Amino acid sequence: MSGRVATEADEQTDLTSSAEREDRLRSDLRACTGDGATYSFMVGIGESYLAAFVVALGMSGVTAGLVAAAPPVAGGALQLLAPRGVRMVGSPRRWVMLCAVVQALSLVTLAVGAAIGRVPAWLVFLLASLYWTGALAAGGAWNTWVAELFPARIRARYFAKRNRFCQFLILGGLLLGGALISIGEKVGYPLLAFTACFGLAGAARLASLAYLLRQTDLPSAGAGHSSVSLHRVLLAGDAPAKIIVAMLCLQGAVQVGQPYFNPFMLKSLEFSPMVYTTAIALSFVGKSLALPLAGALSDRHGARSVLTTSAIGIAFLAAIWLVSPSPFWILPSQLAAGMFWGAYELATFLILLEAIPHRERTSFMSWYYLLNSSAMVLGSLLGAKILAGEETWSGYATVFGASTLLRLIAIMPFFSLRLDAKRHHDVVVDPVAVRASGGSIGVPRAVDEPDDADIPEEVRP
């Protein structure tokens, strides 16, 4: 009799524990969504307008281009030290929160500078570098954290839904920022509009701390991953090294022209703030629309065909800007640019998933983010040298023409790649920044296919 009572007590304890776990999981899912929403709003209304802020301060188009391309190198370098930082602070949650504070403080300082009306170029670069340090240094720890926090069976459905919601918040931030800047220009206080934009962005990032704090903490993670050398990433001569080198060459060629598209629109074409905002928003919308389509095409034809087609499209984007200065030409081309970039990023990630062993993937991609940021800087410096202060239509045309020629050369290695991949992973891409012409910086993540039969109805996101 006592055995039966003990068994019933154990069953009751198991049920209680199961209910508590489900409650904890629901709370973590809500908090993770809140963190994604506040972060995405920050990206849309804050960092996206940094180049426009530089132009509004009266700085050159070269400075505006470099401030969009150079600071990510700091984040790319320091994110290599993130595993050590996580171990030092004791958990991925604490590390991510520390990175969030760095980002918020950099944005609030930019808001103060905009209110004062004077921000030296060196300070803009420093604050932008701190912002990117927080963005990229937090990425790996956050991915590891949520991968262990949420069961594999619910990740695909949850992150797909979360990603759509976050994209809506990025777009909302973009449009609100454009409206504020437009109003600021009309009333004669354009820099105060940037104060509002950066202030709201900083406040959103600070608000994300509350959501991060609500999520279950975990001990320092990272076991089960192998470190790889820079030689392995670039010079091994195998399929992963070949595609990484090809991607870096194309990124460098793209950056010869792409960072200068912002000042080209604002200085040479003299677009209004709302037209400028619409151009950026359409590239983001195009990328969002392209992801499911590119996934379906990868399923049917393989990722390599999607990769080569999108690389060809990217090669001609800079030349398209020179066809007509009319917004009725530039705006639709932005939608197409976003679609090409979305397809390209998804295809390259799928192929890398196929090529890189799972244990090496974290270290491999950490090296890639650093190398990619370095290629951005080298390309933008070459573009600055070509532009040489000639901020006229012909000057920008020379830069875009040079970028187009280099892009055509850079896409050649993609045609010789033999590795392919069918889309056997669900993938979501978390945008870290939104760039004109669709060249946003995003962090793709593969999530496991959920098994609906294993998901309690009340826990399904």
Q: Are residues 258 and 295 in the same domain?
A: yes
**Mean per-residue pLDDT of the chain:** 83
Average pLDDT over residues 306-319: 93
pLDDT band at 232 (very low <50, low <70, confident <90, very high): confident
Average pLDDT over residues 395-405: 94
Q: Are residues 26 and 173 in the same domain?
A: yes
Query: Tell me, what CATH number does 342's domain have?
Result: 1.20.1250.20
What is the Cα–Cα distance from 105 to 98, expressed in whole angstroms? 11
What is the Cα–Cα distance from 284 to 296, expressed in whole angstroms? 20
Q: Which residues of 5-22 are buried (b: 16+ CB within 10 A; e: fewer)?
A: eeeeeeeeeeeeeeeeee
Q: Are residues 214 and 76 in the same domain?
A: yes
pLDDT band at 453 (very low <50, low <70, confident <90, very high): very low
pLDDT band at 131 (very low <50, low <70, confident <90, very high): very high
Report how far apart the first and last C-alpha atoms of the chain are (Å, whole number).
42
The one-letter amino acid at 183: I
In the block, tokens 């959103």 appear at 204
pLDDT at position 178: 93
Q: Is residue 338 part of a domain?
A: yes
What is the Cα–Cα distance from 136 to 339, expressed in whole angstroms? 24
pLDDT at position 398: 94
CB 121 within 8 A of CB 59: yes
> What is the enclosing helix (H) or strand (E) of 442?
strand 441-447
Q: Which of the pair, 76 or 325, is modelled with greater confidence?
A: 325
pLDDT at position 112: 96
Determine the structural domain holding residue 71 and report its residue range. 21-221
Q: Which of the pair, 359 or 25, is modelled with greater confidence?
A: 25
Q: Report angle CA 150, 155, 158 to the nearest 5 degrees.
A: 105
pLDDT at position 91: 84
Name 429's bridge partners.
444
Q: Which of the pair, 389 or 50, is modelled with greater confidence?
A: 50
Helix (H, G, I), strand (E, B) or coil at 429: strand
Average pLDDT over residues 377-388: 91
pLDDT at position 290: 86
Q: Indicate whether 106 pLDDT > 50.
A: yes
* Domain edge (last residue) among 174, 197, 221: 221
Q: Indicate whether 68 pLDDT > 70.
A: yes
Give the chain's domain count: 2
Task: Give tens-digit pLDDT for 168-193.
Answer: 899 999 999 999 999 999 998 999 99
Task: Give tens-digit pLDDT for 316-358.
Answer: 999 998 898 899 999 999 999 999 998 998 888 888 877 777 7
Q: Are residues 391 and 259 in the same domain?
A: yes
* Domain edge (last residue) among 167, 197, 221: 221
Q: Is the dihedral of CA 434, 438, 440, 445 positive or negative?
A: positive
**pTM for the model:** 0.84
Q: What percent of the chain has pLDDT over 70?
A: 85
* Domain edge (last residue) among 206, 221, 236: 221
